[in-house]
């Protein structure tokens, strides 16, 4: 049985395994950044998806920062995020999801919504995912890389 990481013969001979993976990875990242979709990039008309726009009637924002090469991010997105999105807490706040190509570089200006760049600058964010940031107005209430620290603060902030 062939290995699941084996490349088709022409690619392996011409470029070697690592070169092809780098080329394929770069193309995938470019496609995700330039087209609308789950990464939150603007669509062809320049409109941002709903999770990238602040809601004036919900002053508390939860900003999630993930990366495509981050295993803990993928785990959280597959297991915990769906139940959070269906929760009553989520309905009372603005949830903003930002995805970056690499967990070691989350500072890329073009991938940050203009209205959230101040958060990146105030916290001097350059690397590290997954990250959750709770913001109320222009005040950063919490910045953490532990989901367990987020829930108690969110509950207090969105309590009716």
Domain residue ranges in the chain: 50-158
H-helix segments, the chain: 9-14, 17-34, 71-79, 81-85, 88-91, 117-123, 147-158
Instruction: Look up residue 44 and give its two tokens.
Output: 């062809």
- What class has domain 50-158? alpha beta
| pLDDT (average), residues 88-108 | 92
CB-CB contact of 119 with 139 (8 Å):
no
Residue 6 is encoded by which pair of tokens? 């084996």
Taking all residues of the chain, what is their mean pLDDT, rounded to a whole number? 73
Residues 33/133/119/135 CA torsion (nearest 10 deg): 120
Q: Between vectors from CA 133 to CA 112 and to CA 106, what angle results, nearest 5°?
A: 35
Distance from chain centroid for Cα 124: 17
Task: Please say whether the beta carbons of 134 and 154 come within 8 A.
Answer: yes
**Full-prediction pTM beyond 0.85?**
no
**CB of 133 closer than 8 Å to CB of 93:** no
pLDDT band at 58 (very low <50, low <70, confident <90, very high): low
pLDDT (0 to 100) of residue 138: 87
Query: Could you identify the residue written with the tokens 């940031």?
Result: 133
């Amino acid at each position: 049985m062939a290995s699941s990481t084996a490349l088709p013969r022409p690619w392996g001979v011409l470029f070697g395994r690592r070169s092809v993976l780098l080329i394929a990875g770069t193309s995938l990242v470019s496609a995700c950044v330039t087209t609308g979709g789950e990464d939150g990039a603007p669509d062809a008309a320049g409109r941002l998806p709903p999770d990238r726009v602040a809601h004036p009637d919900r002053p508390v924002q939860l900003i999630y920062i993930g990366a495509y090469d981050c295993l803990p991010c993928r785990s959280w997105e597959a297991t915990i995020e769906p139940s959070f999105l269906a929760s009553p807490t989520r309905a009372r706040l603005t949830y903003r999801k930002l995805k970056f190509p690499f967990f070691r570089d989350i500072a890329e200006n073009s991938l940050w919504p203009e209205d959230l760049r101040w958060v990146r600058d105030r916290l001097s964010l350059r690397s590290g995912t997954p990250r959750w940031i709770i913001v109320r107005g222009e005040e950063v209430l919490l910045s953490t890389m532990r989901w367990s620290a987020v829930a108690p603060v969110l509950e207090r902030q969105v309590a009716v």
